[in-house]
Chains A and B, each alone.
Chain A
Amino acid sequence: MARSTLRPKAIVPLGDCAVYIEFSDKLDLEVNAVVQRLALAVHARSLPWIRGVVPALGGLALYFDPDHPAAHGDALQAAANVVQECLKESLAGRDEVLRTVEVPVCYDPEFAPDIEEVAKKVELSVDEVAARHAAGDYRVLMIGFAPGHAYMGGLDRKLGVPRRATPRALVAPGAVAIANEQTVVYPYAISGGWNVIGRTPLTVFDASREEPSLFAPGDRVRFHAISAEEFVRMQQ
């Protein structure tokens, strides 16, 4: 997609206190890079009626106070206007990798309840699934679903499986999972629908840390395999 022609494809009210401004309904890494810069530009304006700015895979969500006087009674329009104003500078910006996060993962079946099913689906051995996952060069495209839960692009296309039909009621904290040519790391024991193929001993989100989230949007991420013994040692 030529950057100069990028414009909102849909302006979707998320109820009456938020809006999603979508640029692409398909995963497009170039569009995502613009969305990241757009989010920073809108955030930098510190508008009093905007409560939150969230870059997503294919667009930007703005959370607002619909009755704030500065929104002039039409927060949806005001939000669309702000995004339009910020779009120009964001299109001109350059894509930069700010930092690389190294993530150790144990791919042993006891930590990977779905790895055998995934291997069967993509017609690879369990070891090959683990090796291909660890070989990837990933970028954080969005943080969402739960605190610090980073959606990363760059998964080996051979590992492209859909989400599970029924979400698991509980996924282990640090569970590394795949779906839709992306990978994620679950921060807590929460309900989740992705295919769990490993687990990291790292703490993904810690509210008492200076930087609560292990990942930030735009990060480069690399995984490397560790044994069950290393997992236990690192967790302590």
Chain B
Amino acid sequence: MSIRVLRPGLLSTLQDYGRHGLQHVGLCPGGAMDPIALSLANALVGNDDGEAALEITVIGPELAFEQDTLVAVCGAEFKGGFPHNRPVLAPAGSRFNVGRAVRGARAYLAVAGGFAVEPVLGSRSTYLPGRFGGLEGRALKHGDVLPLRDPAAASRFSKLKKTSEGSVRWSAPPLTLADREPILVHVIEGQHFGSFDANAQRGFFDAVWKIAPESNRMGFRLAGPALVRTQPEEILSGPTCLGTVQVPTNGTPIALMADHQTTGGYPRIAEIVSADVPRLAQLAPGGSVHFARCDLGMAAELRHHMKQRLETALRGIAWNYGQ
């Protein structure tokens, strides 16, 4: 029992919450670029939190369901006509063309019962640079077959409230999509902020940065004014984190994303707070972002606020499953 891939889309990979605690051998946690949307998608099909889903990027795949499958798509909005942010019972023999993203860059397609792929180093996430995890360590391609672990889990649909024609008359809120751009992203000053000249320090916060085309799951290159340092000497390579913004010698900042490097030798001008990383992940190349300074206290507030909104949404979904 499985889902057939008729067209793979631009970049479709299986992702869960990633592999933690392996940074000492240089392996970043990886996992979903927008873990908030992943969490909602899993909840909508009644999965345990942390199940792997299909991360769909900008241009979605076309899929054929070989059996009745309970599916949910959360995160970016695609114009394929498939209902978003709600559980949908895709009947056996049906096809689903996800289409192109119209708002946001990444959506998560979860299936009830999860995908039957073996965990590697404790996770089902696809780690593209290392070519392991997920489906053979790579993005989907034409003709792939995505095996389901528990096809009978589609029967969960019968527990749902307010159903109508294979879906429901309610939806989960999109928590990470922006209504307009540039989006506002909060940062803490990085270790080397002070080594940049006054123009660069001001410019970093004044500029509207565009996500450059050569951005990927490892990092977003930010097009804008070149950032110049007053002390141009090289720095000792040091640790990095999801959301670290480093500036190579060419002056173009790079925001480190899910498949980021665990250390880097470029000066770190800023650190994006954890609450804002999933929103940044929803920007496609060409999308724009504006940075605002904050401190650890505000970072905690933003984190707790996002956590509360997610928990409220998850409680709402659980209630609709009669829990």
Contact = CB atoms under 8 A, between A and B. Distances in A.
Interface of A: 10, 12-18, 20, 22, 24-27, 39, 43, 51-59, 61, 63, 66-67, 76, 142-151, 162-163, 165-167, 169, 179-180, 187-191, 193, 205, 207-208, 212-213, 216-217
B218 interface: yes
Contact of B234 (A52, A162, A166, A208): A162
A13 B263 contact: no
Contact of A54 (B24, B127, B244, B300): B24
Given A54-B23, A207-B132, 11 more contacts: A15-B243, A15-B273, A15-B299, A57-B237, A58-B236, A66-B303, A76-B296, A169-B214, A188-B129, A207-B130, A212-B121
Contact of B23 (A25, A63, A167): A63
Interface stretch (B50-58, B93-101, B159-167, B264-272): B264-272
Contact of A17 (B23, B265, B274): B274
Given A190-B129, A212-B25, A22 B238 contact: yes
Q: Which of A43, A63, A191, A207 has the most CB of B within 10 A?
A: A207
A62 B250 CA distance: 29
Contacts of A142: 237, 263
8 contacts: A15-B188, A66-B300, A66-B303, A143-B24, A144-B263, A145-B26, A180-B234, A190-B218
B130 A163 contact: no
Given A25-B236, A58-B238, A144-B239, A13 B132 contact: no
B249 interface: yes
A208 B120 contact: yes
A52 B237 CA distance: 18
B191 A143 contact: no
A13 B26 contact: no
Nearest to A20: B239
Interface in B13-30: 20-27
Nearest to A75: B296
A17 B127 CA distance: 22
B39 interface: no
B249 A14 contact: no
Contacts of A169: 214
Contacts of B26: 143-150, 187, 205, 213
Interface string B284-307: 000000000000100110011001
A208 B214 CA distance: 30
A216 B25 CA distance: 7
Contact of B188 (A13, A148, A167): A13
A190 B266 CA distance: 16
Nearest to B304: A67
Contacts of B299: 15-16
B262 A14 contact: no
B234 A56 contact: no
Nearest to A57: B236
A56 B273 contact: no
Nearest to A60: B239
B241 interface: yes
B113 to A, nearest CB: 25
A16 B277 CA distance: 12
B189 to A, nearest CB: 9
Interface in B123-150: 127, 129-133
A212 B27 CA distance: 10
Contacts of A143: 24-26, 262
Interface in B194-241: 214, 218, 234-241
Nearest 10 pairs of A and B residues by beta carbon: A144-B263, A61-B239, A16-B299, A14-B241, A15-B271, A207-B132, A143-B26, A147-B27, A145-B261, A52-B23
Contacts of A205: 25-27, 130
Nearest to B268: A14
B174 interface: no
B258 to A, nearest CB: 14
Nearest to A212: B25
A43 B20 CA distance: 14
A136 to B, nearest CB: 18
A61 B268 CA distance: 14
Contacts of A147: 22, 25-27, 130
B296 A13 contact: yes
A26 B274 CA distance: 29
B90 interface: no
A157 to B, nearest CB: 15
A14 B234 contact: no
Contact of A67 (B24, B249, B268, B303): B303
A208 B127 CA distance: 13
A163 B235 CA distance: 11
Contacts of A63: 20, 23, 241
Nearest to A164: B249
A10 B121 contact: no
A16 B237 contact: no
Given A15-B188, A15-B241, A56-B237, A144 B273 contact: no
